[in-house]
Amino acid sequence: EKNGFDHFMLKEIFEQPNALQKTMTGRFDEESNKVDFQELDWTADKVNNWNKIYIVACGTAYHAGLIGQNAIEELTRIPVSVEIASEFRYRRPIIDENTLVIVVSQSGETADTLAALRQSQKVGAEVLGITNVVGSSIAREADNVILTMAGPEIAVASTKAYTTQVLSFYLLGAYVAQMKEMISDEYREQLVKGIQAIPSQIEEGLEHTKGLQWYAESIKDSKSVFFLGRGLDHAVALEGSLKLKEISYIHSEAYAAGELKHGTLALIEEGTPVIALATQDEVYEKMLGNIEEVKARGAQVMGVATEGNMKIYQYVDETCYIPATLSLLTPLLSVVPLQIISYYTALALGKDIDKPRNLAKSVTVE
Ligand code: M6R
């Protein structure tokens, strides 16, 4: 059932174009090109009353939430906070009937996320569940549900569940913006076109993974690996770092590149691998500056940039290009090489990729 792949993780990475296609199927009205969520029972009145959104999740789903925060704020201008479920449930978050709480969980069974859902409902907040599992506790208990349609994810390390959650957030952001009449037809069209191009763009990227395999082998004996980025790239850096430590057991950290000087730079030594994401146009020059800072301390830098951004060549030791898309959508493309790098690093180290030590696929206890 691994379909010729050595591990479920690799199979699931390669399933992403298909899974994303499924996530978006039926979500666009063919005539108007508007985003359609027939399963949501929201009225314009209800949506207009929300003055705050919380996104609550654990692990990789939390990282998808960070992208969701960016997308929803950008598209709807409603303030969004993202919280780790085990933190959210033990404090007194300020939520009421005018708050939308979005809980995100591949399995739909994560104990802390489920508790956050129940607590939010108790104080009258509307809860939307984003999950991959039909009939899961979260799917049953949330007021509304978006199913990510990724198909079964077997590997403990989450890949296609993450990208389908991220896509669900883009669609949701556009949908709420439509309801609030805050998105121009022109921008919506750009966004929809951009989204529709993603599956084939990922496929394109997956045709050239040899270089990444070679790179993975070159970092396998490192003591520590750093992931840097700004904005959406920082959120993707967090996910890349989690993936690497989860299956290769190499220590890694993700940093907002602008924070380097505030402590982390002290950890960079001769030869320390740094994966620097530089896909965001608005902060591209700033990222190049940060790359210079780590290079000056001896770091070996792999730059992840958008095709056509040739300048980065002069700054890094190697480059991984992703196809061009809207700035907002880059996470769907830039996370894939990071998944591949962690896979091949773990493979080179002979680790148990689909079942990393100490971890379970579904965390149903606190
Ligand atoms: O089923 P969930 O999405 O609620 O699971 C949340 C985390 O346990 C999960 O994403 C975990 O971080 C992954 N193993 C990361 O690859």
The residue count for the chain: 366
**How high is the pLDDT of residue 264?**
86
Band (pLDDT 50/70/90 cuts) for residue 303 is: very high
Is residue 108 pLDDT above 90, yes or no? yes
Instruction: Give the pocket of ligand 1 (CB within 6 Å).
Output: 58-61, 105-107, 110, 113, 156-158, 242, 246, 362-363
SS3 call for 323: coil
Q: What is the mean pLDDT of residues 165-172?
A: 98
Q: What is the mean pLDDT of residues 284-310?
A: 96
pLDDT tens for residues 148-161? Answer: 999 999 999 999 99
- pTM listed for this prediction: 0.97
The dihedral built from the CA positions of residue 350, 352, 358 and 361, taken in this order, carries a sign that is positive
Judge contact between 316 and 301, C-beta under 8 A: yes
What residues contact residue 187 under an 8 Å CB cut-off, 6+ apart?
none
Atom of ligand 1 nearest to the CA of 59: 12
Over 48-115, what HEC string results? HHCCEEEEEECHHHHHHHHHHHHHHHHHHCCCEEEEEHHHHCCCCCCCCCCEEEEEEECCCCCHHHHH
Atom of ligand 1 nearest to the CA of 159: 16
Q: What is the mean pLDDT of the chain?
A: 96
Q: Which residue has the tokens 């009449």?
A: 181
Best residue for ligand 1 mutational test, from 363, 364, 365 (most atoms within 8 Å of Cβ): 363
Band (pLDDT 50/70/90 cuts) for residue 30 is: confident
Q: What is the mean pLDDT of residues 27-43?
A: 91
Best residue for ligand 1 mutational test, from 8, 60, 169, 339 (most atoms within 8 Å of Cβ): 60
**How high is the pLDDT of residue 103?**
98
**How high is the pLDDT of residue 366?**
84
- Predicted ipTM? 0.99
Residue nearest to ligand 1 atom 12, measured at CA: 59
Half-sphere exposure of 58 (CA within 13 A, CB side): 23
Of 52, 245, 295, 361, the active-site residue reads 361
Residue nearest to ligand 1 atom 16, measured at CA: 157
Paired sense of beta strands 52-57 and 80-84, if any: parallel
**How high is the pLDDT of residue 43?**
95
Judge contact between 66 and 235, C-beta under 8 A: yes
By percentage, how much of the chain surpasses pLDDT 70? 100
Q: What is the mean pLDDT of residues 103-109?
A: 98
Is residue 81 pLDDT above 90, yes or no? yes
Atom of ligand 1 nearest to the CA of 58: 6
Is residue 90 pLDDT above 90, yes or no? yes
Q: Ligand 1: distance of its center to the CA of 162 in Å?
A: 9
Judge contact between 260 and 293, C-beta under 8 A: yes
**How high is the pLDDT of residue 265?**
87
Residue nearest to ligand 1 atom 14, measured at CA: 157
Band (pLDDT 50/70/90 cuts) for residue 131 is: very high
By percentage, how much of the chain surpasses pLDDT 90? 93
Q: Please return the burial class of 13, using the count of CB atoms within 10 Å of its CB with bins 0-12, 13-18 and 19+.
A: buried
Is 361 a residue of the active site?
A: yes
**How high is the pLDDT of residue 364?**
87
Q: Ligand 1: distance of its center to the CA of 241 in Å?
A: 14
Looking at residue 314, the DSSP 8-state letter turns out to be G
Q: Ligand 1: distance of its center to the CA of 52 in Å?
A: 25
Best residue for ligand 1 mutational test, from 7, 9, 12, 58 (most atoms within 8 Å of Cβ): 58
Q: What is the mean pLDDT of residues 272-293?
A: 96
Is residue 31 pLDDT above 90, yes or no? no
pLDDT tens for residues 237-273? Answer: 999 999 999 999 999 999 999 999 998 888 999 999 9
